Structure 1
Amino acid sequence: MPHRQTTSGRPQLPVGWRRLLARLPVFLFRCGLGWVFGKRLLLLHHTGRVTGLHRRVVLEVVEYEHEPTGGHWVVASGFGPRAAWYRNLHADPKTVIEVGNRHHAVTAHFLTPDDGAEIMGRYARQHPRTARRLCAFMGLPADGGEASYREAGRAIPFVRLDAAAGFRP
């Protein structure tokens, strides 16, 4: 499914039937079928920074870690730092996510390009095909080598969503 690129090289949002297809996971989460995605996708609730309206977006979980004091999920903005959800989290980093059929209160932390390089290097080792597709989707060069994925990770905005205390998987 090819995506149109903007003049900056970033992908444009899908339109028409592709937009409907892209929004299907949101609908499934809203119907209580989030469990279908396991821990691979999450539904991020966010508030529009201009409108104040409640918004939702489904994101792929790049990393997940459960810790005794809480847990965290790492997600990436495939549309870059201009994505509405990314900018909305900058304005209001405290929000709620759904993983499976569970809701979690989280706080967003925006990772550095060096953190992104480390994360993308690990992600490419675990999911080589998906990493190649993500880089192609974003118009970033990735020749399959670790160095190219690390460089791509420096250009991709990553966000860590930290669960509030008392988190249980």
Structure 2
Amino acid sequence: MTQANTKQAKSPTGLSRLLWRAPIWFYRFNLGWLLTGRMMLINHIGRKSGKPRQNVVEVARYDKATNTRYVCSGFGQQSHWYRNLEAHPDVTIQTAGKKLAVHAKLLSPDESADEMQRYVEHNPKLIKELLRVVGYDVPDSMQGYRQLAHDKMPFVAFIPR
């Protein structure tokens, strides 16, 4: 296996942050349905401020049987939305015009590795592009992807309450 980028990806700042946050406006104007079922809006509470916060994230996997959505924190555990979920796991989400009250379960490193494997198996081209955009080297094996999720890219399960 080649040496992977071991640095934690940094959250976007400045203009790139503005671009990453642009999809929120689709949901604010009731146009979230335009973003397809792969995206969802998380309405959460700031861990320090106690104020409402929002983030749009990609749904890595949807389990229809349990109505559970799985999301990866591409910028790791230091992402504000991820840290806010640690403090306040009961949130609401919006997908394609539907709102749902959920509990955000932070998955273990091993569970995150399993979810990453599922994602890579179903989206082999997309994962490579996403990792490049976020700033990671693309692993050359499934074990490399699993290790990346295990160490740096935790997953969250959004389970209906």
Q: Which TM-score applies when normalising by structure 2?
A: 0.88
Query: Which residue of 92, 98, 107 maps to 1:96?
Result: 92
Deviation string for 1:116-165 (max 9, x for gaps)? 1111111111111221233342525511x22221222212111000012x
The aligned counterpart of 1:56 is 54
Look up the match of 1:81. Answer: 77
Unaligned regions of 5+ residues in structure 1, if any? 165-169
Taking structure 1 as the reference length, the TM-score comes to 0.84
Structure 1 moving runs of 4+ over 3 Å: none
Correspondence 1:89-168 to 2 at 5 A: 89-136=85-132, 137-143=134-140, 145-155=141-151, 156-164=153-161
Does the 8 Å contact 2:9/2:135 carry over to 1? yes
- Residue-pair matches, total: 155
The answer as to whether partners of 1:46 and 1:56 remain within 8 angstroms in 2 is yes
Counterpart of 1:32?
30
What is the SS of the residue equivalent to 1:51? coil
Equivalent pair of 2:11/2:79 in contact (CA under 8 Å): no
Post-superposition offset of 1:16: 3.2
How far the C-alpha of 1:17 sits from its partner, in A, is: 2.8
Query: 2:18 is paired with a residue of what secondary structure?
Result: helix
Question: Which ranges of structure 2 fall in alignment gaps of 5 or more residues?
Answer: none
Residue in 1 that maps onto 2:45: 47
Q: For residues 103 and 64 of structure 1, do their structure 2 counterparts lie closer, same or farther at Cα, with a shift above 3 Å needed?
A: same
Relative contact order higher in (CA < 8 Å, ≥ 6 apart): 2
Percent identity over the alignment is 34
Name the CA distance, whole Å, in 1 between partners of 2:76 and 2:41.
Answer: 18
Aligned partners of 1:93 and 1:109 also within 8 Å:
yes
| Equivalent residue, structure 2, for 1:21 | 19
**Contact persistence 1:78–1:138 (CA under 8 A):** no
Q: Which amino acid letter does the alignment assign opposite residue 120 of structure 1?
A: M
Report the aligned-residue RMSD: 1.8
- Structure 2 distance, partners of 1:23, 1:89, is 18
- Matches of 1:138 and 1:123 in 2, distance apart? 18
